[in-house]
Structure 1
Amino acid sequence: MAGKYESESKLDGTASSGEDGPGTYHETYHDVDIVYKTLSWKLVAVLMIAEIVSNGMLSLPSSLAVVGIVPGLLLIIFLGVFATYTSYLLVQFKLRHPEVHSMGDAGFILFGPFGRELLAFGTIVFAIFATGGQLLAGQIALASLSSNKLCLMLYTGIFAIPTLICSFPRTLDRLSWISVPSVLSILIAGIIGMVGAGLYPTPERHLSAARSSSFYEAFFSITNPVFAYAGHFLFFILISEMKRPQDAMKAAYVLQGFATTFYAVFAVVMYVYLGPMVASPAFSSLETKWAKAAYGIAIPNFLIAGSLYSHTASKLIFIRLFRCSRHLYSHTFTGWSTWTFLIILMNSLAFVLAVAVPIFSYLIGIAASLFASWYTYGIAGAFWLHDSYHDEEGIRTWKRKWPQACLAAATFMVGGFICVAGTYVTVRGIVIAYRDGTVGSPFAC
């Protein structure tokens, strides 16, 4: 796939994120072997859906069981609209700053070197934890299919191998094509789950239009829909490999439209038929053969989503190391050995965390609260405030465009609230789990 660097293989439109900041090429390469900017908006939409619409949706029915159908459904729809708005702000920021390849580059523009390191670190940490979350989803699926005949740690290890292999391609276009069956698998699995719930509903179930509960119980439950949309930290990397970044919002509209509709229908149907005792993940509440069918069909999605997350963590570091080097665009020993090391490292860290940390599922919640709350919601408001201030007339622009400024500021504050409240309820959940003795042991079967 050789090509000309200037015309088709330039990764993001600028260059280095070195000490002089993002945006300065120190070298130019004309003959390249690896072309990055190959994605159409349709393939980006597939990648977005494969990454976001995954095992997170399986916890939505249990959220409705805590707060009731009406508030839960309204929250899912509101978050879908809100995520569409923040997607728009992220895309506009990327188009104004084509040098941005990751949240780390965006952090440099907003806050300087410290912001770059903080947001890059958060992206890597959240991606590793998200990979581990998919490994746990794969573990549950394999255990269900085999009726728990093996040690759970072995299921995790078995699932980690294809996840690692699928994350190896250097460019996202290779992952995009295998993401097509991933999207189909989670869609079909969700439909099978709803059919199974309808055929074998929970008897004598009591449904609630709305339920009152404590702040801890309510917010702990709604973190499921809040973070079911948490995939924006990948958007800059995805857009950087598009042939036409100007079409990125088309992909975002498809993603949010599909996710919001599917989430709402799935959550309501599963709750209505399985009742307030619906498990998280919801497939575990299905009759055995239907649970096996749903989990079995969902496995490709869990696998590809995990691969996308580990690929993202590796890609951020790889670009940081070789952004101004021929190793980025050529088949060199240094480039491929570094990429291989990073892929193995990220997947290994995810596997070790998933099997060695008994409270890993809670740590995923903490990572999501600390980082995904900003990447998906809050920081998008900062992007608009920054560009409207620096690119136009400063505070006078904010005054003239006060509705947009107020909405952007509110978006930033919402991200802060989700960060603080989500961290609080997750930490409290850990304390309660240890108090009640429900925490397992490392490397347990």
Structure 2
Amino acid sequence: MSHSLSSISRSVIEDTAQDFRPANPQIIMSNNTYHPTQNIYTKDDEPRIHRSARDVRELRAGEFHDEESIDHELPGDVFGQEDGHDIKYKTLSWPVVAVLMITEIVSNGMLSLPSSLAAVGVVPGVVVIVFLGSFATYTAWALIQFKLRHPEVHNMGDAGMILFGPIGREILSAGTIIFAVFATGSQILAGQLALSVLSNERLCTVAFAGIFAVAVTLASFPRTLDSLGFLSIVGGISIVVAGIVALAGAGAVPINPGDIQVAVTSDFTSAFISITNPVFAYAGHFMFFILISEMKQPQDAMKAAYALQITATSLYVVFAVVSYWYIGSDVLSPSLLSLSPLFSKLAFGLAIPNFFIAGSLYSHTASKLVFVRLFRHTKHIHTHTLLGWGTWTLLILLANVAAFVFAVGIPVFNYLVGIAASVFAAWYTYGLAGAFWLHDTYYFEGGFRAWLQRPLMLAVNVFTVLAGAFICVGGLYATIVALIRASAAGELPPAFQC
């Protein structure tokens, strides 16, 4: 009988969490002991009881409802106990995570925001930027709470497994990889543009893209994110300084100062694209699970998220408004192209470190998802093995080569990035956070009754899911319409154009 119950329990756990077992043979949680080989929890002062996957989640919720009491070595923790291992992942402090987040998010997306204000007007544009930034702060909180309750989650695919089963895992994993590779390609194009401006276009742009892709590839090779920490500090500082220089340049050599509109009447496509620009500018949540998994104290993750959102929202508003004020309604995207030649070169040159470091973080993310999926809880994660390093090298090369080929070989790549942002960023940054809260409140706090007992939070999270769906559908429609218009007007560049 005992053997039968153990088999049933093991089946439930494996079907629900794809065998997310800790590396430790036994892990102590408060006064509970987890026995991974038998998939059971026991109280130290009571007999062993076989529990279902839902029972395990409920026990975990009861013991660790207070986020301050959550230990970073819970059962199912992605990297387990790392003492004595050659490669240690859980080394990040929250300030370093904040810098990594800022470097990754406050990047080339910021440079498109002045054109968004020109499309809809300064008041609607600022309202959208501030609202989406505040909204992203809430969704970051919901995502972090989900991660703390489900320490086995390493990426959006793992979260999809919990929410929707195997199909959800594959869809959200694929979406993360696609979006990360496309984002890498976007950074390669930004670097290509910067090098072209600095050199007065003296070399084929494909060659510039290739040079930049090599730099991105080399920077993304470290296996752990702490190895990218120092580079991220440089990258974060570079984009902030580049923004300041750009504002100084716009003020020193104004083009149409004061040529701004409080509000602009435009068609749905133009207006919605101006919304997808700030959505893309805030689109970093898809990396949060991977970042938090490598923190020494995951419960500090919200401090990093606050630092990110305050910094990003403040920079976005100031940069967008001041640039729009001095350059006027003809501001280009990226706005650095609207500056005088001298200031354009200065700003692009200062932004280059951010472009290639952000690109390396994206390609690292795509590679890390697959690597952990292949080798979770094996020696290849923590040990310098030929198979481990060979696989990691192959994944890094594949991610960056794919990003380069897509960026320079597909004439509609910028539109594909917009489509990917609409389909994936809308859900990863906004919509899924509502699903996380609804799921955990239902399973941890009493089902439908728990939802009804918290009507305000229920309304907020239903709205979050619907908002994600609206941004997804609206952004997808607007981007496809813009692509059709550009194609009809003959505005699409040829593949591999110099």
Q: Structure 2 residue aligned with 1:369, among 378, 403, 422?
A: 422
- Give the counterpart letter for 1:105 in structure 2: D
- Give the counterpart letter for 1:274 in structure 2: I
Q: CA-to-partner distance for each residue in 1:121-152, whole Å, 9 max, x for gaps?
A: 00000000000000000011000000111111
Matches within 5 A, 1:348-367: 348-367=401-420
Partner of 2:18: 21
- Match status 1:306 vs 2:359: yes
Normalised to the residue count of structure 2, the TM-score between the two structures is: 0.85
Partner of 2:455: 402
Question: Whose RCO is larger (CA < 8 A, sep 6+)?
Answer: 1
Q: CA deviation at 1:24?
A: 2.0
Q: Structure 2 residue aligned with 1:432, among 485, 489, 493?
A: 485
- Match status 1:96 vs 2:149: yes
Q: CA deviation at 1:170?
A: 0.2
Q: CA deviation at 1:240?
A: 0.2
Q: Which runs of 4+ in 1 moved over 3 A?
A: 16-20, 25-31
Q: Structure 2 residue aligned with 1:36, among 89, 93, 98?
A: 89
- Give the counterpart letter for 1:62 in structure 2: S
Q: CA deviation at 1:27?
A: 7.3
Partner of 2:32: none
- Match status 1:233 vs 2:286: yes
Kept after mapping to 2: 8 A contact 1:22/1:99: no
Kept after mapping to 1: 8 A contact 2:90/2:295: yes
Partner of 2:114: 61
Normalised to the residue count of structure 1, the TM-score between the two structures is: 0.95
- Give the counterpart letter for 1:59 in structure 2: S
- Give the counterpart letter for 1:64 in structure 2: L
Q: CA deviation at 1:22?
A: 4.9
Q: CA-to-partner distance for each residue in 1:272-325, whole Å, 9 max, x for gaps?
A: 000000000000000000000000000000000000000000000000000021
Partner of 2:465: 412
Q: CA-to-partner distance for each residue in 1:20-44, whole Å, 9 max, x for gaps?
A: 5253247768742000000000000
Give the Cα–Cα distance (whole angstroms) in 1 for the partners of residues 172 and 457 of structure 2: 25
- Give the counterpart letter for 2:448 in structure 1: I
Partner of 2:226: 173
Give the Cα–Cα distance (whole angstroms) in 2 for the partners of residues 218 and 19 of structure 1: 42
Which is further off, 314-323 or 70-79? Answer: 70-79
Partner of 1:108: 161
Matches within 5 A, 1:172-211: 172-203=225-256, 206-211=259-264
Kept after mapping to 1: 8 A contact 2:251/2:326: yes
- Match status 1:255 vs 2:302: no
- Seen in structure 2, the aligned counterparts of structure 1 residues 357 and 244 have a Cα distance that, compared at 3 Å, is same
Partner of 1:164: 217
Kept after mapping to 2: 8 A contact 1:54/1:186: yes
Partner of 1:4: none
- Give the counterpart letter for 1:21 in structure 2: Q
Give the Cα–Cα distance (whole angstroms) in 1 for the partners of residues 328 and 19 of structure 2: 52
- Match status 1:422 vs 2:475: yes
Structure 2, unpaired ranges of 5+: 1-12, 26-80
Partner of 2:180: 127
- Give the counterpart letter for 1:404 in structure 2: M
Query: What is the DSSP-based 3-state SS (H/G/I as helix, E as strand, rest coil) of the residue aligned with 2:416?
Result: helix
Kept after mapping to 2: 8 A contact 1:27/1:325: no
Q: CA deviation at 1:206?
A: 2.4
Partner of 2:269: 216
- Give the counterpart letter for 1:23 in structure 2: F
Give the Cα–Cα distance (whole angstroms) in 1 for the partners of residues 352 and 331 of structure 2: 21
Kept after mapping to 2: 8 A contact 1:50/1:182: yes
Give the Cα–Cα distance (whole angstroms) in 2 for the partners of residues 205 and 39 of structure 1: 45
Structure 1, unpaired ranges of 5+: 1-15
Q: CA deviation at 1:220?
A: 1.4
Kept after mapping to 1: 8 A contact 2:257/2:326: no
Q: How many residues are paired up?
A: 430
Give the Cα–Cα distance (whole angstroms) in 1 for the partners of residues 199 and 14 of structure 2: 48
Q: CA deviation at 1:216?
A: 1.2
- Give the counterpart letter for 2:107 in structure 1: S
Q: Structure 2 residue aligned with 1:284, among 332, 337, 341?
A: 337
Q: CA-to-partner distance for each residue in 1:186-231, whole Å, 9 max, x for gaps?
A: 0000000000000000147621111111111110122111211000
Give the Cα–Cα distance (whole angstroms) in 2 for the partners of residues 168 and 266 of structure 1: 32
Q: CA RMSD in A?
A: 1.4
